[in-house]
Chains A and B, each alone.
Chain A
């Protein structure tokens, strides 16, 4: 990894919940222009890792560097300012708030009105289904539309790196395809993507680089194609 192409690097990260280790010595890197994914079963520590990168959890040990700069111990607000936005597991939309206001919460840390308005249009361009529902409360949307809104809200922060935690969980197959297309579009538009998925099929297909997590550790890494043909991965995560 050379410094100028590394977007994010995590080195030796350890996180515990009440003394129980959730992440043990986790190291990974995200390279420019490539979708990176972390696959693993429930409870492997994927969400913990995402929260630690986003600043919601304070790691005990280890470091996080963003564009070569140490960002360990920063608050979520500071991470958003630095260009990292997390789309949390379960979407976590503001249910009674309108779709429009949900999108505007994403732009909270920005003050450039005209750029916000332009990004608002860009997001609606990505997700035309949201345009007709701007005044509806977020809770009234379908599951797929809610996921689109969650991604759209994150894009409103004008991020350089988006962390997506289980974006396809519980969605119908056709909607999953739409979300995958969007993830690829985001990546093509120059926003880096770190994708966490239980659905290893989707993740390995999308990702240029993939990591496998088990019991709070990274146990395997390689290109998406490599891992797709790895016997261990095929058996444990692809059900083949």
Chain B
């Protein structure tokens, strides 16, 4: 029982970040019909910003650690939103619904941004002090308070995104554009603006994931890239463009990672994920919740 709860807790804390990351990627695909290979760069930017704002705020400004982290989170999300708006206006808006063009653009962007991060921050892993010290015991399983907070925040953000998509006028437009862009335009929905909002929400989700991850894992200029690969696995399994699919897929991959890592070893878990993706692509290429077009 204790082991089971521990593994479940591990799954949730790994999965929480995966879900946020994959949600952004799948949202951008759904609305713009492009695959953003530079999505990990948003994540990395946010995480790196946290690693420099937290020490600055606590040492130079003398604010408490939690306040410094909160400030860092806001700065990181705002900067990533600005970065997102910039790359959308000079790049992505010209390759809407263009898989080849967006592939070339986003790979190039990824190389530029990774190079820029390396130039600014150097290659050494950067860390943030523990924001929430202590552990919480749930059914005998130990969970650091920090990781518990991560899961809660990720769940709140995911819930917020769900409400935005299901209950608001913008969400209605995002769904409609994702299902049939031309029909959405005929209802008076301005495609370009809806695509921009979808892109910015996706970037903000990646930034949230980066902010949450920074105090837990060491951050490097390529931190986002491994998440990108996992996120692709997740949305292939969950269904490209499906929000619920990204949530299910994210938790599923996290489950494989924590179970496989415990009972076998991490490389077996990674192997299992890729085998799973191959199996999905062969048997059910649209994923668990994807649509056949």
A93 interface residue per 8 A CB criterion: yes
A92 to chain B minimum Cβ distance, whole angstroms, is 4
* A92-B183 contact in complex given A75-B190, A108-B188, C-beta closer than 8 Å: yes
- Report chain B residues within 8 Å CB of A56: 182, 185-186
B163 interface residue per 8 A CB criterion: no
A80 contacts B176, CB within 8 Å? no
Nearest chain B residue, comparing its CB with the CB of A87: B186
- Report chain B residues within 8 Å CB of A85: 186
Docked pose: A96 CA to B183 CA in angstroms: 14
- B interface footprint on A68-109 (CB within 8 Å = 1, 0 otherwise): 000000011100110001101000111111000100111011
Nearest chain B residue, comparing its CB with the CB of A93: B183
Nearest chain A residue, comparing its CB with the CB of B291: A96
Size bin of chain B's contact surface:
10 to 19
B173 interface residue per 8 A CB criterion: yes
B116 interface residue per 8 A CB criterion: no
* A106-B183 contact in complex given A94-B175, A94-B176, C-beta closer than 8 Å: no
Nearest chain B residue, comparing its CB with the CB of A54: B186
A157 interface residue per 8 A CB criterion: yes
A153 interface residue per 8 A CB criterion: yes
- Near A by CB (< 8 A), chain B positions 157-190 give 169, 172-173, 175-176, 179-180, 182-190
A76 contacts B179, CB within 8 Å? no
| Highest count of chain A CB atoms <10 Å: which of B169, B183, B187, B188 | B187
- Report chain B residues within 8 Å CB of A95: 179
Docked pose: A75 CA to B187 CA in angstroms: 11
9 contacts between A and B (CB under 8 A): A56-B186, A77-B190, A80-B188, A96-B179, A96-B291, A97-B175, A101-B175, A109-B188, A157-B187
A-B contact sample (4 more), CB < 8 A, given A101-B172, A153-B187:
A56-B182, A88-B182, A97-B176, A108-B169
Binding site for B on A (CB under 8 A): 54, 56, 75-77, 80-81, 85-86, 88, 92-97, 101, 104-106, 108-109, 153, 157
Binding site for A on B (CB under 8 A): 169, 172-173, 175-176, 179-180, 182-190, 291
